[in-house]
Amino acid sequence: MQQEARPSNGTAGFWRDLRDSLAGSEQDFTSGSLARALTLLAVPMVLEMMMQSVLGVVDVFFVARLGADAVAAVGITESILTLVFAVALGAGMATTAIVARRIGEGNLDAAARNTVQAIWLGIVLSLGVALLGYNWSRETLLWMGASSAVVEVGLGYNTWILAGNGTIILLSLINAAFRGAGDAMIAMKVLWLANILNIVLDPCLIFGLGPFPEMGVTGAAVATVFSRAVAIAYQVRLLASTQSRLRIRFEHLRPQWLLIWNLVRVSTGGVLQFLVATASWLALIRIVALFGSPALAGYTIAIRVIMFTLLPSWGLSNAAATLVGQNLGASKPERAEKSVWVTSVANMIFLGVVTILFVTLAFPISRLFTEDPQVLAYATDCLRYVSYGYILYALGMVMVQSFNGAGDTYTPTVINFFCYWLLQIPLAYGLSVGSRMDAQGVFLAITVSESILAVMAWLIFRRGRWKLQEV
């Protein structure tokens, strides 16, 4: 039985809301207290995103014991993989928006049908990258500027991760559907399962502990792909059960081309949005590679730590997307807008605290991953430079996700194109190479461009055209 969101009152209300969010009971997010609705959605979504980031941090933590070339190999592979994440996240945005809108309308059957079509779409999207990874793994590493030593160390890792990219896409799409339905707790449990398996298998397969073979860097990839595959099996089991509002029945399994086309239509803006952003990250890592393996390894470590804090913030933003989608579906645009402002304030407070931690503790945090003085210096600088813009990042993330939750995936694409391709890449090259700031010029360019993006998104959001978006 779906419950209406009750008002939150003081400390007792907060702890009750926290308990209910972790219990995962069904709620109505289109009425009642917005603070309670945000807590119910955001807590499991933040924990889910933290678990997503732990997958990457755990890999680099263990791989760092193998040296700078090993970390650089992981960093280059992950930069290539950002294109896969662009597809997964872009299609996931569409899935969340459509499922949330159908849930807001009270059409649970249509929400379930769209979820199945998203799975079909994910399978098709993953095939091309799998063939690329299986047949041209070495070429992709060389194209990204990897040295012969990095290619030798990282070839197996790159092959496994790219060939197994379907586990990333399907895991992301199905969890996006759960979030759109308001079943954030289920999405969180899935990522917990994947992480527990990965944490156990990573050291075993990298270093050959117990009966496991010693596979080096390749072992990290095998552990990650296997862990995600098990998590997907768990997702499918939940979809076939009665534990979620997305209850898939046999008649839902047939491909429905009109629904798939609608997903593609809405996804296109989202995929372009993230392709623009991730292509910029590819360019940045290519620029950083000009300064050698220590710079690349330090950048890789810092970005993993940064993502560890930004992905929980992204979880808050995802909560805003769900609230926007469901409330627009329920014909409550003003409540949808108010939910965005409430989420923005919470996110800015969170990342403001993280800023203080990174500015003061960048060196000891980086030292957890490496003792190499050169790598350590680059990682410390990157953490500090990027964190200076965290409060504005918080605002920008919520604004962008709110556009996506409304189904307006094209506005963030235009913003990203301007801020990343026309500003970030030229600025990064100009500061690092032209002004001889070394890799620190890239770090500063990230802060400047992301801050400008946040201001642009805020100004466009205030115009309110996103409220008229149809999906």
When pLDDT is averaged across residues 1-18 and rounded to a whole number, the result is 55
Mean pLDDT computed over every residue of the chain: 87
Burial class from Cβ neighbours inside 10 Å (0-12, 13-18, 19+) for residue 433 reads: middle
CA 4/CA 147 separation, integer angstroms: 58
- Regarding predicted confidence, which is higher, 91 or 79? 91
Looking at per-residue pLDDT, the higher value among 435 and 5 belongs to 435
> 427-460: per-residue pLDDT in tens?
999 999 988 899 999 999 999 999 999 999 999 9
Q: How many domains does the chain have?
A: 1
| Residues present in the chain in total | 471
Domain contains 330: yes
178 occurs within a structural domain: yes
Q: What percent of the chain has pLDDT over 90?
A: 50
Residue 3 located in a structural domain: no
Cα 397–chain centre separation: 11
Give pLDDT, residue 20: 67
Contact yes or no for 225/197 (Cβ under 8 A): no
pLDDT in tens, 116-163: 999 999 999 899 888 888 888 888 888 877 788 888 888 889 899 999
Q: Does 170 fall in a domain?
A: yes
Please list the residues that pair with 3 across neighbouring strands. 27
Separation CA 381–CA 390 (nearest Å) = 15
Instruction: Evaluate whether residue 418 is within a structural domain.
Output: yes
pLDDT tier at 4, thresholds 50, 70, 90: very low
Tell me how crowded residue 325 is: count the other CB atoms within 10 A of its CB.
31
Nearest to 229 by CA among 185, 186, 169, 156: 169
Lowest mean pLDDT among 208-217, 234-243, 427-436, 452-461: 234-243
Report whether pLDDT(8) > 60: no
Helical pair 68-105 and 293-329, crossing angle rounded to 10 deg: 0
What does the pLDDT average to over 326-332? 92
User: Domain for residue 20, yes or no?
Assistant: no
Q: In which band, very low, low, confident or very high, does the pLDDT at 26 lie, cut at 50, 70 and 90?
A: low
pTM across the whole model: 0.76
Q: Please check whether residue 98 lies inside any domain of the structure.
A: yes
- Domain containing 229 equals 33-468
**Would residue 7 count as lying in a domain?**
no
DSSP 5: P
SS3 455: helix
